[in-house]
Amino acid sequence: MFKLYRFEMKKIHRSATIWVCLAVFVLICMAINYVHADAFLTPATVPSQEEQQKIMSEMTEEEQAEYKAQIEWQTILRDGATPEQLAAMSEEDRAAYESIRAGEIFTYDKEQAKYEIEHNINSGFGIPSFIENAFANGYMGMFMIFIAVIISAVIAKEYNNSTIKISLLSPHKRSEIIVAKLLCVLTVIIEFLLITAFLCAIESVIYFMAVGKTNPEPFNCMKEVKFGDTLTTMNVVARLLLIFGMSVLSTFMVALGICFISVITKNVVVTIMTPVAFFLIPMVVTSEKITNNVIWKYTFFNLIDNYLLLSPTSRTSKDLAVTLVITAIWAVLFTAGSIFAFEKQDVYN
């Protein structure tokens, strides 16, 4: 088995397509990071006088007073507080002002900033967030397509080139050959994410040096997360490890499905187009009868879209548990299906 694995790894590392995919994925992640960081660290914007008048014309006097206070606060955040304004601030307001200006908190809402300070929450965008984006992008739709390309290079391309006959005639069990190929795909997924995370970390250091800021998100800070129906805080390093693990899990589940399609169809084009279709289906299917179906609702595509980013969701921990169980079922079915189909294939066809 280990020899088979090494052989498959050598083949895939010699494929130029794989390295092109990695380069494209890294560039996309870096571009997303730059846009996010620029948005997080850009000072608050304040509406023009005309826009303010238009907005306040539809408000009550009480609402106008609150809006004016909000505009004054955003102006201070944008331009910086004068010594007089700082002296007039309460201790809590000053802490909120300094945290927002330092980029440790990404909100221009004073009360939200106070809440995050009180609970030791850092919502800024620093080096850990650059790394997190590399992991989080790992289970976005675009990565599904890259995984399909990888599997095409490992499996489907062998059918097109007729080199699959070498594997079919080898003394190794066909189940071992498929497992070796899947382990190879899993290894490449991990390699992709770790290399991208490393390069994004370097990008973050260069970015903060260029803008003249220190990292606003230290590695010992806490992040607020919602997992299922549980709202909690988590150390940023633990969060990174969790997201990395979930990203590997979810993308490998997709890879198992694509591997099954690849073995059944023996076609590179179909293999690559499959994840594209899966990515587009949720965008065009709006029927509640379909989207509320148990299989659809809890399948691994739901897992990828709704849980692994640890974003607020109305779904419960029970939903999450059911999703994980059905994900495991999908994994077993796809793996068993791939092995069964591969064992039944005739070397002469």
* pTM, two decimal places: 0.74
Cα separation, 86 vs 94, whole angstroms: 7
Cα separation, 207 vs 71, whole angstroms: 30
Beta carbons within 8 Å of 102's beta carbon, 6+ residues apart: 124, 216
DSSP string covering 201-244: HHHHHHHHHHHT---SS-TT-EEEEEETTEEEEEEHHHHHHHHH
CA distances from 315 to 137, 150, 231, 249, 294 (A): 22, 33, 12, 20, 14
Bridging pattern class, strands 222-227 and 230-235: antiparallel
Q: What is the pLDDT along the chain (349 residues), one digit of tens a residue?
A: 777 788 778 877 887 878 888 888 888 888 888 887 877 766 667 777 888 788 888 888 888 888 888 888 888 888 888 888 888 888 888 888 888 887 777 777 888 888 888 777 777 778 888 888 777 755 455 666 677 677 766 676 676 666 666 666 667 787 888 888 888 888 888 888 888 889 989 998 898 888 777 777 888 777 776 655 566 777 888 888 877 887 787 778 778 888 888 888 777 777 777 766 665 665 555 555 555 555 555 554 444 444 444 443 445 666 666 667 777 887 888 888 888 887 776 655 5
Task: For the chain, give every domain's residue range.
Answer: 2-40+127-343, 45-107
